Amino acid sequence: MARIIGGLGTSHVPAIGAASDHGKTRDDYWAPLFAGYAPAREWIRRVDPDVAIIVYNDHATAFSLQLIPTFGLGMGDEFPPADEGYGPRQVPMVRGDAELSWHLAESLVINDEIDITFVNDLHVDHGLTVPLTIMCDRPDEWPFKVIPLAVNVIQYPQPTGHRCLELGRAIRRAVDSYPEDLKVLVVGTGGMSHQLQGERAGLINREFDLAYLDRLVSDPDAQAAVPHVDYLRQAGSEGLELIMWLVMRGALGGDVREVYRHYHVPASNTAAGLIVLEPTA
């Protein structure tokens, strides 16, 4: 039987990928951020997942304003890195697990009545490939298969935090019912506090970010009840990406053990956070 072995939440700042791609990880600016990733990478090597469900948002690469799925599940056996205007990142092909994807889709739609868009042809952008770099550095091949789960956090109306948490819980039920013996990691990406435009461009709210990490561990239902407007006011226009971490948290069940956290500012004018959690049951 498949089982969820842990969850990881991380920012997916595109400049983090660029720093890795161009050999800048030991530069004075980037070294403290990348040094903080080492314990998470060691944890990944230790737990050795077979598959990672990566919850991310597309940045007008695979989807546009002509088609905006609330939740889009990658169904293929591979997902090429996307060209985001400067050529695809020179990272390995993302290998999928179509059988598990279809099992998730069937369980979510039929058993839990959650609407999912099936995405059979999907190029994945920095929202997914940067977290892979954060977790795995620069291997010749990613060490596990990946199921992309794209969430709309761009175009109003976005799903609520509560709906994201419940989606995670439904994913847990789906994984638990899969007969193959697989170790599954769930990754929530995006955030933390940041705003990329307007009068508040460059906003970082350390107090909000750290409180979010605390509630993610101890009281995810309370965090899921936080309205979108609070994210916008306190964490900036792009801070709403943090609702995607709630999918990861829901998939871990009730109580969790915090293995590791890392928080750093700034990373390309944003706050960058990472947390590693393990389910206790």
Catalytically active residues are: 126, 194
- Structure tokens given for 29: 């600016």
Q: How far apart are CA 128 and CA 125, in angstroms?
A: 6
Angle between the N-to-C axes of helices 98-106 and 161-176, in degrees from 0 to 180, rounded to the nearest 10:
120
Q: Write out the E strands in the chain.
A: 3-10, 51-56, 71-74, 78-79, 94-95, 117-119, 145-151, 183-189, 256-264, 272-279
> 3-state SS string over 86-149?
CCECCCCCEECCHHHHHHHHHHHHHHCCCCCEEECCCCECHHHHHHHHHHHCCCCCCCCEEEEE
Q: How far apart are CA 170 and CA 168, in angstroms?
A: 5
| Neighbour tally for 146: CB within 10 Å | 25
